[in-house]
């Protein structure tokens, strides 16, 4: 028999859970299908630029999260960003001012999750496809048919519909809970330019990000103006609205980039033209952000822990932000430690 916990998904929720278990002296192994950790906080590395295509920044409301964030700050993994935030509507730009502190990973968003993963056992490029229960222990089977385990517990730190598929008939109450959480899709386009964007009248020349009021496009950021990325040229991420993304889910990358660049062009002040991009693309997030209203009570539960030894955590159980995902994983990890004493 073993005390080891398996965590499927090394996004911020799975990593927060793993850190809490590790701190509580419990052995843990993380599995992720991707090449690295980070999930929706990972960054795309191109030859000439690093692009954040998922979370762009995060904010802090909860004091437990504040303690963790302070330690990431000390480790040099995050910095304030954006400090020059704007709002645009049909050509009219205004500075967006509020008291909210916004932070991002440096030199890329994935620095946060890389920092959290330090010293933990992480099996990357391992997509878990089945769970097998045997004598109160669990085995994980990956896409190549390799078995991992046994484990006393398995945490599914993945979006609800992916968790639902893995749960199968192993735990009907957790499977039913997954059906109450809907994750909405989001297209994230990117474009590189050989020259900087033209200066905009009455807007700081080093504006960092702009919220756009448009049915297609919601947010544009300049990756080269994120902390630690001075060496790259003009490199935009363009995030689409969720309902627009839903309706365009099966569109081609090309159509999506074109529509989002067109929306950005329309948001620029009159007489300003976007230069021709030197490279472009788009990433489709199928499970980008939870629809917090769909879940009703379920989203207020923070995480789900079952007598079967299976448990669920992630942003969907709490809210649509990095902070929610971290808190969900952290609270589950602490609950598992408390149970094992
Ligand atoms: P994820 O990060 O999705 O982690 C799940 C992990 O599980 C992934 O790494 C995946 O590869 C892995 N996985 C899935 N299935 C399997 C399997 N079968 N086997 C192995 N591994 C598997 N939040 C903010 O606070 N501020 C923002 O500005 C912001 N903007 C966003 C913009 C976009 C475009 C998106 C997509 C999200 C944004 N968010 C933002 C939300 C934030 O990114 C998420 O809430 C948070 O990162 C979710 O973390 P998680 O650990 O719950 O899930």
Q: Is 158's pLDDT higher than 80?
A: yes
221 and 197 assigned to the same domain: yes
Q: Which residue has the tokens 């994120």?
A: 226
> What pLDDT, on a 0 to 100 scale, did the predictor assign at position 295?
47
**Considering only CA atoms, which residue is closest to atom 4 of ligand 1?**
11
**Considering only CA atoms, which residue is closest to atom 46 of ligand 1?**
322
Q: Report yes or no on 51 lying in a domain.
A: no
More confident residue, 180 or 60: 60
| Mean pLDDT of all residues belonging to the chain | 95
Q: Report yes or no on 232 lying in a domain.
A: yes
Q: What is the pLDDT of residues 231-281, one digit of tens each?
A: 999 999 999 999 999 999 999 999 999 999 999 999 999 999 999 999 999
> What is the CATH number for 212?
3.90.660.10
Is the CB of 54 within 6 Å of ligand 1? Answer: yes
Atom from ligand 1 closest to the CA of residue 319:
45
Give the count of domains, the chain: 2
> What is the CATH number for 176?
3.50.50.60
Q: Report yes or no on 258 lying in a domain.
A: yes
189 and 274 assigned to the same domain: yes
Q: What is the pLDDT of residues 282-318, one digit of tens each?
A: 999 999 999 865 445 544 578 999 999 999 999 999 9
Atom from ligand 1 closest to the CA of residue 323:
25
171 and 116 assigned to the same domain: yes
Is the CB of 190 within 6 Å of ligand 1? Answer: no
Q: What is the pLDDT of residues 97-128, one digit of tens each?
A: 999 999 999 999 999 999 999 999 999 999 99
Q: How confident is the model at residue 135 (pLDDT cuts 50, 70, 90)?
A: confident
Type and span of the H or E element at 330: helix 322-340
For 70, the 3-state DSSP assignment is helix
103 and 142 assigned to the same domain: no
Q: Is 5's pLDDT higher than 80?
A: yes
Q: Which residue has the tokens 């709002």?
A: 87
d(CA 53, CA 106): 15
Q: What is the pLDDT of residues 57-69, one digit of tens each?
A: 999 999 999 999 9
Is the CB of 52 within 6 Å of ligand 1? Answer: no
Q: Report yes or no on 280 lying in a domain.
A: yes
d(CA 315, CA 317): 5
Is the CB of 321 within 6 Å of ligand 1? Answer: yes
Domain of residue 90, residue span: 78-107+183-290
């Amino acid at each position: 028999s073993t005390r080891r916990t398996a965590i499927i998904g090394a996004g911020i929720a799975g990593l927060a859970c793993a850190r809490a278990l590790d701190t509580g002296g419990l052995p843990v192994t993380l599995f992720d299908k991707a090449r690295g950790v980070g999930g929706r906080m990972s960054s795309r590395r191109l030859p000439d630029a690093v692009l954040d295509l998922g979370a762009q920044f995060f904010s802090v409301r909860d004091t437990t999260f504040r303690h963790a964030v302070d330690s990431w700050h000390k480790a040099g993994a995050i910095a304030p960003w954006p400090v020059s935030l704007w709002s645009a509507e049909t050509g009219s730009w205004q500075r967006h001012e509020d008291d909210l502190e916004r932070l991002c990973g440096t030199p890329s968003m994935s620095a946060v999750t890389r920092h959290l993963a330090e010293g933990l056992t992480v099996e990357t490029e391992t997509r878990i496809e089945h769970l097998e229960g045997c004598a109160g222990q669990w085995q994980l089977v990956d896409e190549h048919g390799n078995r991992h385990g046994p484990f006393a517990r398995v945490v599914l730190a993945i979006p609800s519909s992916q968790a639902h598929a893995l749960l199968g008939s192993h735990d009907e109450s957790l499977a039913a809970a997954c059906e109450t959480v809907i994750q909405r899709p989001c297209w994230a386009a990117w474009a590189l330019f050989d020259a900087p964007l033209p200066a905009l009248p009455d807007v700081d020349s080093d504006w960092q990000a702009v919220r756009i009021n448009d049915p297609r496009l919601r947010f544009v950021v300049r990756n080269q103006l994120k902390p630690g990325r001075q060496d790259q040229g003009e490199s935009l991420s363009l995030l689409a609205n969720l309902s627009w993304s839903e309706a365009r889910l099966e569109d081609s990358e090309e159509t999506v980039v074109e529509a989002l660049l067109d929306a950005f062009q329309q948001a620029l002040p009159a007489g300003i033209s976007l230069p021709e991009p030197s490279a472009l693309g788009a990433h489709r997030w199928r499970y980008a952000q939870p629809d917090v209203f769909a879940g009703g009570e379920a989203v207020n539960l923070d995480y789900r822990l079952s007598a079967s030894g299976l448990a669920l955590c992630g942003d969907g159980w709490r809210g649509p932000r990095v902070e929610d995902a971290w808190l969900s994983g952290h609270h589950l990890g602490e609950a598992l430690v408390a149970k094992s004493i």
